Amino acid sequence: MELIENLNDIDAPYKNAVVTIGNFDGVHKGHQALLHQVMEMADELDGTSVAMTFEPHPLRALGISSPPLITRHDQKLELLEQSGIDVLLCLPFDKAFAEISAHDFIEEILVNKIGMKGIIIGADYSFGKDRVGNISLLRSEGRRLGFETVVSDWIKDTETGKTRISSTRIREIVMEGRVEQAMKYLGRHYQIRGKVISGRKRGGSQLGFPTANIKLHDELCPKLGVYAVNVETVHGHHQGVANIGFSPTFGDQMFTIEVHIFDFDKDLYDTRIRVNMVARLRDEVKFSSIEALSLQIKKDVQKAKEILNKNGHS
């Protein structure tokens, strides 16, 4: 995959470019189907498949409140590369970009700069200054400039059979703690990632369960509670349990994500880990004593091992 982060880095229009445009937060099954459709059309035209996305999120760039991210920027790029797309345009979004008219965006950027011969978008797609660009405009401009506009069908929510798979729906599901359902829509486990930071220093000494602590930035946080997880570290993949919350038994009201990795004794401090949320085990509970909490963690570990081994996680 070729990654372009500035339009000025495009030396010449791509051959018969087929384009899709979006934020692609989550790169979920709906996005995956859209990207596959783009690649199929590009093959038919003996052309180039192109996905365009933006960094930062347009709402954030314009100072408008935006939802928490399902995938951080680095993970989104990884997932888009894995899709098999030929070219990813990850363009800086700012107020100047937002001022580009819909007509100029189509003619100057999509057609003249990128070489677009086809565009595949969702039915609700809008673009350009004041969001006046829409499917009708694309179709009329396509007749003038020589490109085809295809509206992609939504991928249905298998749970309801009615609503579509969307980033909004996945956020709701993750915030409800339903990470198993989120996996069905994402095609992979919901993942949080971050650098291991110094924690309260009590997991191993007081509870007998040492933990790696990570800090979230602006990404989506699952519902508070305890989860069975698969952890990717610099030392490989491992099973574990994660507690997301405020550790009410200790009463200090500090939000943490603490990950206990099974049968693991290596130092992870200052390294980056990825935590794949496999199943939610229980709510976070305030226990009467540290001993009672430690006993519950033992039960959590056993339950997590059963779930993870049943699902074939290393």
What tokens appear for 262 in the block? 């099974």
Instruction: Name beta bridge partners: 212.
Output: 259
Cβ–Cβ under 8 Å, residues 232 and 259: no
Is 132 found in the same domain as 216?
Answer: no
Cβ–Cβ under 8 Å, residues 86 and 1: yes
Task: Give residue-wise pLDDT tens across range 147-161.
Answer: 999 999 888 877 766
Q: How confident is the model at residue 63 (pLDDT cuts 50, 70, 90)?
A: confident
Lowest pLDDT segment from 63-72, 105-114, 183-192, 222-231: 63-72
Lowest pLDDT segment from 27-36, 125-134, 172-181, 220-229: 125-134
> Radius of gyration (Cα) for the chain, nearest Å?
23
Whether 223 is in a domain gets the answer: yes
Whether 34 is in a domain gets the answer: yes
Is 107 found in the same domain as 15?
Answer: yes
User: Which of 151, 292, 308 lies closest to 240, judged by CA?
Assistant: 308
301 pLDDT more than 60: yes
Is 131 found in the same domain as 226?
Answer: no
User: Which of 216, 213, 277 lies closest to 247, judged by CA?
Assistant: 213
At 162 the pLDDT is 64
Structure-derived torsion over alpha carbons of residues 231, 232, 236, 237, reported in degrees to the nearest 10: 40
Q: Which CATH number fits the domain that encloses residue 131? A: 3.40.50.620
Task: Give residue-wise pLDDT tens across range 100-121.
Answer: 999 999 999 999 999 999 999 9
Asked which of 101, 133, 151 is the last residue of a domain, the reply is 151
At 207 the pLDDT is 62
Asked which of 122, 151, 180 is the last residue of a domain, the reply is 151
- In one-letter notation, the amino acid at residue 212 is A
What residues make up the domain containing 128?
2-151
Of the chain, the end-to-end C-alpha distance in Å amounts to: 29
**Sign of the CA dihedral 173, 179, 180, 182?**
positive
Q: How many domains, the chain?
A: 2
Whether 170 is in a domain gets the answer: no
Burial class (CB in 10 A: 0-12, 13-18, 19+), 67: middle
CA-to-CA distance for 254 and 138, rounded, in angstroms?
A: 50
Lowest pLDDT segment from 96-100, 153-157, 239-243: 153-157
Is 203 found in the same domain as 128?
Answer: no
Q: How confident is the model at residue 202 (pLDDT cuts 50, 70, 90)?
A: low
Is 299 found in the same domain as 207?
Answer: yes
Q: What is the mean pLDDT of residues 75-94?
A: 96
- In one-letter notation, the amino acid at residue 287 is F
175 pLDDT more than 70: yes
Q: How confident is the model at residue 205 (pLDDT cuts 50, 70, 90)?
A: very low
Q: How confident is the model at residue 204 (pLDDT cuts 50, 70, 90)?
A: very low
Asked which of 151, 175, 208 is the last residue of a domain, the reply is 151
Is 217 found in the same domain as 143?
Answer: no
